[in-house]
Chains A and B, each alone.
Chain A
Amino acid sequence: DGSASAGATRPRRGGVLRAAFPGAGAKETLDPHKQRQFVDIARHKAMFDKLVELGPTLRPVPRLARSWESSADSTVWRFRLREAVFHDGHRLEPEDVLYSLHRILDPHAADHLAANSLSALDLGGCRAVGKETVELRLKKPSAEFPSLLAVTGALIVRRGYRDPEKPVGTGAFRFASFQAGRSFSAHRFDDHWAGAPYLDELRILSAASEARNSAVQAGEIDYAHEMSPTFARLIEGNSRVALVSTPLSGVDGFALKTDRPPFDDPDAAMAVKLLVDRERLIEVISGNRAQPGNDLYGKGYAYYPSHLPQREQDLAQARRLARRSGLFNRRLTFYTSTVVEGFVNAAHLFADMAGEAGLRVEVVSGPPETYNTDQLTTGDIGNHRCGAMPIPTYISERLLDGSPQNASAWKHPDFDEDFVHAQGIKKETARTRAYGALQRTVRDEGGLVLWGHPDWLNAVSTTVHGVKPAPPNTDKWARFDAVWVD
């Protein structure tokens, strides 16, 4: 299963593609540096390009940057640019890249999303080298810098870009119209550097899940993003709609707070890891559309230590460890929320499993709007979900002392040091080894119970071809350059 392009006709020019994404109302924006929602990202992807994108295994792949190289200490990076043209005919130059980076890191624009990841840039030290190359200097060494340029919101805009209402990019589609929370449309850009797309027009529409469900079945839209496993069951055998299912598109799990009792004791955390019934969770929460997790992030991605044995449920051992660490005497709080569909279900399912093993878990539900922040301080256990990103990014965002989303409160200075060190290793095999060791530590002692890697489900009308499975946030995801309709 997977791609809807199977048995496709020959690519054909022309036509309109109507793609629906979950909307975010007034929050939706045209400003590529403020993007936050999938629907924004999809829109911006049509109109803009990044220097670097992420490939299917979350390795950086060239986009506007044709190639790159770094100094020996990985502090100075040179990117050679493509011969790309903006929608207004202006040719892409290093100054555009520098302007974009300055704009992203503008201290007055607090809501530029990539600012955090790119804060390692030493803007003063960046410069153009000729007409084709841009040289970027970092404050501290990082062998992972190219993948940081692929983060959300790191799009390259035209020099002097100010009015978000008039977007000018190098993307495959030219802006036509936009209404926040409703619709967006863009036309084919014939001078696109990778060749013009097939579609005449791309419409990206916002709609809640109910509406996407029925609209894609009724043929009112051609592409529906983010569908549920129940929907997948519903359209089994439907000749008009096909499912594009992307395996390994992230991770589902639980986060145990390791900076306080009881989970500051690795035995207690291990007891929990051993008692969860991963199959049952996958069956219920992911509708059997997931692969079991091994308490490791990034299955199938670069740097994933795939040689480690799959962790299985072992109730006897779990009980032993629980008793030893005094888990039975405590009342555990599972702090959950409806922020993501399935969180509360998973929490209750977990509570049941834990209850069978003799643990007392109380599920408490918090406001979804601030869940991710609240979760950092509330409860002993929380939900954990993470989309696709490179493993080093994951570590830096979730497992370091200063990480903004350190849900398992994994705070170990030596771990942080090792990570910084690993990031600086230029040689890939050695770096892989170093990352592997770090991940292993977290798997055995950390507080992440990562039980599944769910499939990402999109629905596509059978008249649409060329939609490839790709994890969200990667290059081919929500990219409609190579899509055509009958």
Chain B
Amino acid sequence: MSEHTAQPPPAQPAAPGSGRRAWTAGKKGTGGVVTTVAAAVLFAVPVLTALFGPLLAPLAEASGPGAPYALDGRHPLGTDGLGRDVLALLLRGGGSTLGSALGAVALAYLVGGAVGLAAAVSRHRWVDEMLMRPVEVVLPIPSLLVISLVGVGRHGNAWAVTMAVALVNTPVAARLVRAAALRAAAGPVAEAMRMQGESRLRVQLGYVGGSVLPVVAADVGTRVTGAVFTVAAANFLGLGMEPTAPDWGVTIAASREALLVQPWSVCAPAAMLLMFTVGLNLLGDRVLDRRDQLPPRGHRDRRARDRWTRVRRARVLPGARKEGRA
């Protein structure tokens, strides 16, 4: 013991002041930046491909169709089972995959999240019950059943499958959000905001929503992944989109047999999806970490708001200035 005091204290890393810091030492290193950049790149590649790929696709299609699952010089990533250029498919197929997966999850969270939030924020038990009971009834239905019913009933309709995926995710989102929101909504901060006459919307979205955010952010990434695979699995079963649709998920499902014959036909779209979900999740983590670590939103908000008011005052009525000072 006494030896310790005799020695000079060891040089310190970033002050392990707050408890949290001590436990998460090393966050600030360059590693963080590298990961952030990597995550952004991972995320951006598939998204940009989905957005702008269709514009470039004709270039890739210029060499015309080839033999099925061929790996010849004319097609950089070979061809798929119909002899179509895999690169062209890759360029064309992002929109529907990401669109339907994101759309389904967004819808699920929009509806389910709203229901869950409303149920949690409501101080009336009956509102909670009314909102959550139906959710609880729907919850245990195997999503597989819903997908297959919809897939069988409204065959080959991408919208229907998207809606089905949204539907199966909605109760889950509702419950998740409710559980997370309940803690916040029942706490004194929400009470204080209500006492201040804050609108329900602001209490729910501004504060309770904000407290739910970490849980949701941790969930959204996996949910999107899940949605992509549910759609892909529906195609695997012949319940989803047309097996010829130039969609990443469909392409993977349709070419799966050729994994070892023409690996690109499966691996290229799979890599896109992988980049997307990994990037999305990593970015989500980054944003959350940042949120917990940096000075609170108020600082930034205020500066932004001051700037905004200044602009407004300068532009709009000169009288407003006086009024503002009054």
Q: Do chains A and B touch in the complex (CB under 8 A)?
A: yes
A contacts, CB < 8 Å to B: 209-210, 213, 228, 230-231, 233-234, 283-284, 287, 337-338, 344-345, 348-349, 363, 365-369
Cβ A338 vs Cβ B68 within 8 A: no
Cβ A367 vs Cβ B243 within 8 A: no
Question: Which residue in A209, A231, A234, A284 is a CB contact (below 8 Å) of B81?
Answer: A284
- How distant is the Cα of A209 from the Cα of B256 in the complex, in angstroms? 11
Q: Quick check: is B83 within 8 A (CB to CB) of the other chain?
A: yes
Known: A283-B67, A345-B81, A365-B156. A230 touches B244 (CB 8 A): no
Cβ B82 vs Cβ A284 within 8 A: yes
Known: A338-B238, A345-B82, A348-B82. A233 touches B244 (CB 8 A): no
CB distance from B262 to the nearest CB of A (A): 9
Cβ B155 vs Cβ A366 within 8 A: yes
Contact with A along B82-119 (1 / 0, CB 8 A): 11000000000000000000000000000000000000
Cβ A365 vs Cβ B242 within 8 A: yes
Cβ A344 vs Cβ B243 within 8 A: yes
Cβ A233 vs Cβ B261 within 8 A: yes
Cβ A230 vs Cβ B261 within 8 A: yes
B152: chain A residues within 8 A (beta carbon): 367, 369
What are 13 A-B pairs with beta-carbon distances under 8 A?
A: A210-B256, A228-B257, A230-B69, A283-B67, A284-B67, A284-B68, A284-B83, A338-B238, A344-B242, A363-B242, A365-B155, A365-B242, A366-B156
Residue of A nearest to B259 (CB): A234
- How distant is the Cα of A231 from the Cα of B82 in the complex, in angstroms? 15
A368: chain B residues within 8 A (beta carbon): 155, 238
- How distant is the Cα of A247 from the Cα of B43 in the complex, in angstroms? 49
Cβ A367 vs Cβ B81 within 8 A: no
Contact with A along B234-257 (1 / 0, CB 8 A): 000010001110000000000011
Cβ A287 vs Cβ B68 within 8 A: yes
B contacts, CB < 8 Å to A: 67-69, 81-83, 152-153, 155-156, 238, 242-244, 256-258, 260-261
Residue of B nearest to A227 (CB): B257
CB distance from B284 to the nearest CB of A (A): 33
Cβ A230 vs Cβ B81 within 8 A: yes
CB distance from A147 to the nearest CB of B (A): 34
CB distance from B232 to the nearest CB of A (A): 14
Beyond A283-B68, A365-B156, 4 extra complex contacts between A and B, CB < 8 Å: A230-B258, A345-B244, A363-B242, A366-B156
- How distant is the Cα of A283 from the Cα of B67 in the complex, in angstroms? 7
- How distant is the Cα of A397 from the Cα of B89 in the complex, in angstroms? 41
Among B69, B83, B244, residue most surrounded by chain A Cβ atoms (within 10 Å): B244
Residue of B nearest to A231 (CB): B257
- How distant is the Cα of A367 from the Cα of B148 in the complex, in angstroms? 11
A233: chain B residues within 8 A (beta carbon): 69, 261
Cβ B257 vs Cβ A213 within 8 A: yes
Cβ A234 vs Cβ B261 within 8 A: yes
- How distant is the Cα of A369 from the Cα of B256 in the complex, in angstroms? 23
CB distance from B38 to the nearest CB of A (A): 34
B82: chain A residues within 8 A (beta carbon): 284, 345, 348-349
A-B residue pairs, 4 tightest by C-beta:
A365-B156, A338-B238, A367-B155, A348-B244
A366: chain B residues within 8 A (beta carbon): 155-156
Residue of B nearest to A348 (CB): B244
CB distance from A308 to the nearest CB of B (A): 30
CB distance from B234 to the nearest CB of A (A): 11
A345: chain B residues within 8 A (beta carbon): 81-82, 243-244
Residue of A nearest to B238 (CB): A338
- How distant is the Cα of A349 from the Cα of B242 in the complex, in angstroms? 13
Residue of A nearest to B67 (CB): A283
- How distant is the Cα of A388 from the Cα of B68 in the complex, in angstroms? 26
Cβ B238 vs Cβ A230 within 8 A: no
- How distant is the Cα of A365 from the Cα of B68 in the complex, in angstroms? 22
- How distant is the Cα of A367 from the Cα of B82 in the complex, in angstroms? 22
- How distant is the Cα of A287 from the Cα of B238 in the complex, in angstroms? 21
CB distance from B87 to the nearest CB of A (A): 18
Cβ B244 vs Cβ A344 within 8 A: yes
CB distance from A278 to the nearest CB of B (A): 15
A369: chain B residues within 8 A (beta carbon): 152
A283: chain B residues within 8 A (beta carbon): 67-68, 83
Residue of B nearest to A338 (CB): B238
A365: chain B residues within 8 A (beta carbon): 155-156, 242
B81: chain A residues within 8 A (beta carbon): 230, 284, 345
- How distant is the Cα of A228 from the Cα of B258 in the complex, in angstroms? 10
A338: chain B residues within 8 A (beta carbon): 238, 243
A363: chain B residues within 8 A (beta carbon): 242
A344: chain B residues within 8 A (beta carbon): 242-244
CB distance from B147 to the nearest CB of A (A): 14
Cβ B242 vs Cβ A234 within 8 A: no
- How distant is the Cα of A213 from the Cα of B261 in the complex, in angstroms? 13
Among B67, B69, B242, residue most surrounded by chain A Cβ atoms (within 10 Å): B242
B261: chain A residues within 8 A (beta carbon): 230, 233-234
- How distant is the Cα of A238 from the Cα of B140 in the complex, in angstroms? 46
CB distance from B14 to the nearest CB of A (A): 52
Residue of A nearest to B156 (CB): A365
B244: chain A residues within 8 A (beta carbon): 344-345, 348
A210: chain B residues within 8 A (beta carbon): 256-257
A209: chain B residues within 8 A (beta carbon): 257
CB distance from A452 to the nearest CB of B (A): 14
- How distant is the Cα of A238 from the Cα of B315 in the complex, in angstroms? 78
CB distance from B296 to the nearest CB of A (A): 52
- How distant is the Cα of A365 from the Cα of B257 in the complex, in angstroms? 22
Cβ A234 vs Cβ B260 within 8 A: yes
B243: chain A residues within 8 A (beta carbon): 338, 344-345
- How distant is the Cα of A233 from the Cα of B257 in the complex, in angstroms? 11
CB distance from B244 to the nearest CB of A (A): 5
B156: chain A residues within 8 A (beta carbon): 365-366
B83: chain A residues within 8 A (beta carbon): 283-284
B242: chain A residues within 8 A (beta carbon): 344, 348, 363, 365
A348: chain B residues within 8 A (beta carbon): 82, 242, 244
- How distant is the Cα of A71 from the Cα of B83 in the complex, in angstroms? 56
A349: chain B residues within 8 A (beta carbon): 82
- How distant is the Cα of A338 from the Cα of B245 in the complex, in angstroms? 13
A230: chain B residues within 8 A (beta carbon): 68-69, 81, 257-258, 261
B69: chain A residues within 8 A (beta carbon): 230, 233
CB distance from B305 to the nearest CB of A (A): 53
B238: chain A residues within 8 A (beta carbon): 338, 368
CB distance from B142 to the nearest CB of A (A): 17
A213: chain B residues within 8 A (beta carbon): 257
- How distant is the Cα of A182 from the Cα of B151 in the complex, in angstroms? 26
- How distant is the Cα of A283 from the Cα of B158 in the complex, in angstroms? 29
A337: chain B residues within 8 A (beta carbon): 155
A287: chain B residues within 8 A (beta carbon): 68
CB distance from B237 to the nearest CB of A (A): 9
A234: chain B residues within 8 A (beta carbon): 257-258, 260-261
Residue of A nearest to B157 (CB): A365
- How distant is the Cα of A349 from the Cα of B82 in the complex, in angstroms? 8
Residue of B nearest to A337 (CB): B155
